[in-house]
């Protein structure tokens, strides 16, 4: 992890993708004094962080001559489009950035294709997917894992260390993608398990607030169960990560498991429950709706408990950067 008191290298940065996550991450770089030009397909989302030390680029082409360009997009198709599509970052061989750092969650195969496209054009490529949501970013608690050329990692690690709390170098190539996909498989399995035991406790007469307060203060509690607890207790499904995005990661994870001949019985069962959440039509809500589905299958009617719980991310609410 970078020492936040150390001045940042004097590099010109670009940022592609100012959705919930991308905007929060780019804003942290702007707050740290980095020179960041941000492009987003919907311009007003980039404009929303212009007061945070970021400038707005009208086109991706404006980012081509920069030292490092970060990308944070939703799908492999989006990543290919912003890099190789018409008007993309690598569309003009005569004008390319020095390096690309991709923080999206994509498959290892997609990452390998984008890495090869970059290297063909003399552009270094670092895979740097993240763990956390936008509120986690704002609280300074994001975790990142990176893979690719060690020299590039060391050059951009000071910036990654300002975006998040911890940065792990996993090795050469695209192994960081597998790390992130494994992480998100665990995320889904843990959330489904948390839904099951919470419904069990409530159906036996225990409030969700009491049960989750106990769990979060036990050896089984974690930062994740703590910051998911308010959603479970108050049934606030404001999206941080949707069922559709989680389904995508399960598809990637189970495909990797087949390729590597690793049985994944718990992940496979959870994948079907994630699919059920998508099939319910509630695709714009948070994946914490797994709790609702579990309650429905248990003949339990849930109501918001309107309780105040500490989600462990108070720094985000206080506007800490």
pLDDT digits (tens, 9 = 90+) for 36-53: 999 999 999 999 999 999
CA pair distance 265, 286, nearest whole angstrom: 24
- Name the domain count of the chain: 2
Do 168 and 245 belong to one domain?
no
Asked, for residue 316, whether it belongs to a domain, the answer is: no
Residues 13 and 66: beta-carbon distance below 8 Å: yes
End-of-domain residue from the set 146, 173, 200? 173
Of 191, 195, 214, the closest CA to residue 203 belongs to 195
Asked, for residue 54, whether it belongs to a domain, the answer is: yes
pLDDT at position 228:
95
Burial 281-296 (b: 16+ CB within 10 A, else e): ebbebbbbbbbbbbbe
CA pair distance 193, 87, nearest whole angstrom: 45
Asked, for residue 6, whether it belongs to a domain, the answer is: no
Asked, for residue 295, whether it belongs to a domain, the answer is: yes
Do 20 and 59 belong to one domain?
yes
pLDDT at position 320:
39
Do 162 and 193 belong to one domain?
no
Torsion sign over Cα 270, 246, 126, 7: negative
Mean local confidence (pLDDT), 5-13: 87
Of 188, 178, 173, the closest CA to residue 255 belongs to 178
pLDDT at position 319:
45
Biggest distance spanned by C-alpha atoms of the chain: 68
Band of pLDDT at residue 314, cut at 50, 70 and 90: confident
Of 28, 33, 34, 69, the closest CA to residue 165 belongs to 28
Do 164 and 215 belong to one domain?
no
pLDDT at position 47:
96
CA pair distance 190, 318, nearest whole angstrom: 28
Specify the higher pLDDT residue, 107 or 189.
Answer: 189
pLDDT at position 155:
97
Statement: residue 272 has pLDDT above 90:
yes
pLDDT above 90: percentage of residues in the chain: 90
End-of-domain residue from the set 141, 173, 205? 173
CA pair distance 159, 209, nearest whole angstrom: 38
Statement: residue 204 has pLDDT above 80:
yes
Over the chain, what is the mean pLDDT?
Answer: 94
Note down the domain range covering 145. 12-173
pLDDT at position 6:
72
Q: What is the CATH number of the domain that holds 248?
A: 1.10.1040.10
Do 219 and 293 belong to one domain?
yes
- DSSP annotation string for 245-276: HHHHHHHHHHHHHHHHT---HHHHHHHHHHHH
Tens of pLDDT, residues 185-201: 999 999 999 999 999 99
Residues 6 or more apart in contact with residue 109 via CB below 8 angstroms:
none
pLDDT at position 315:
57
Predicted TM-score (pTM) of this structure: 0.88
Band of pLDDT at residue 80, cut at 50, 70 and 90: very high
Mean local confidence (pLDDT), 140-160: 97
Do 98 and 135 belong to one domain?
yes
Asked, for residue 292, whether it belongs to a domain, the answer is: yes
Do 40 and 81 belong to one domain?
yes
Statement: residue 321 has pLDDT above 50:
no
CA pair distance 246, 70, nearest whole angstrom: 23
Do 31 and 69 belong to one domain?
yes
Do 165 and 196 belong to one domain?
no
Asked, for residue 317, whether it belongs to a domain, the answer is: no
Asked, for residue 319, whether it belongs to a domain, the answer is: no
End-of-domain residue from the set 128, 145, 173? 173
Q: What is the CATH number of the domain that holds 45?
A: 3.40.50.720
Band of pLDDT at residue 5, cut at 50, 70 and 90: low
Do 269 and 303 belong to one domain?
yes
Do 24 and 157 belong to one domain?
yes
Do 143 and 18 belong to one domain?
yes
Statement: residue 242 has pLDDT above 80:
yes
Q: What is the CA radius of gyration of the chain?
A: 20
Asked, for residue 300, whether it belongs to a domain, the answer is: yes
Joined tokens for residue 106: 């994509």
Count CB neighbours of 300 within 10 A: 13
Statement: residue 171 has pLDDT above 80:
yes
Name residue 143's beta-bridge partners: 131, 166
Helix (H) or strand (E) holding 196: helix 175-203
Q: List C-alpha distances in Å: 112 to 32, 130, 282, 314.
A: 31, 18, 33, 38
């Amino acid at each position: 992890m970078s020492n936040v008191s150390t001045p940042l290298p004097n590099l010109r940065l670009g940022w592609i993708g100012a959705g919930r996550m991308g905007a929060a991450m780019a804003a942290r770089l702007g707050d740290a004094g980095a020179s960041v030009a941000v492009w987003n397909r919907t311009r007003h989302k980039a404009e929303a962080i212009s007061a945070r030390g970021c400038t707005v680029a009208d086109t991706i082409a404006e980012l081509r001559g920069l030292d490092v360009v970060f990308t944070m997009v939703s799908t492999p198709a989006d990543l290919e489009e912003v890099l190789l599509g018409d008007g993309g970052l690598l569309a003009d061989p005569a004008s390319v950035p020095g390096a690309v750092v991709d923080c999206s969650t994509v498959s290892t195969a997609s990452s390998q294709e984008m890495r090869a496209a970059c290297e063909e054009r003399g552009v270094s490529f670092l895979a740097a997917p993240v763990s956390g949501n936008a509120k986690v970013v704002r609280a300074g608690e994001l975790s990142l894992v990176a893979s690719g050329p060690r020299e590039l990692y060391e050059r951009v690690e000071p910036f990654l260390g300002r975006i998040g709390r911890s940065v792990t170098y996993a090795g050469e190539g695209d192994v960081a993608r597998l790390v992130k996909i494994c992480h998100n498989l665990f995320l889904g399995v843990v959330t489904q398990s948390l839904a099951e035991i919470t419904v069990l406790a409530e159906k036996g007469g225990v409030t969700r607030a009491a049960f989750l307060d106990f769990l979060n203060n036990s050896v089984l509690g974690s930062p994740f169960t703590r910051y998911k607890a308010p959603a479970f207790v108050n049934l606030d499904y404001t999206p941080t990560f949707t069922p559709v995005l989680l389904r995508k990661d399960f598809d990637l994870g189970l495909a990797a498991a087949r390729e590597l001949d690793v049985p994944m019985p718990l992940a496979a069962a959870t994948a079907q429950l994630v699919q059920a959440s998508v099939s319910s039509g509630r695709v714009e809500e948070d994946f914490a709706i797994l709790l609702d589905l579990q309650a429905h299958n248990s003949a339990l009617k849930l109501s918001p408990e309107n309780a105040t719980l500490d989600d462990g991310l108070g720094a985000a609410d206080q506007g800490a950067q």
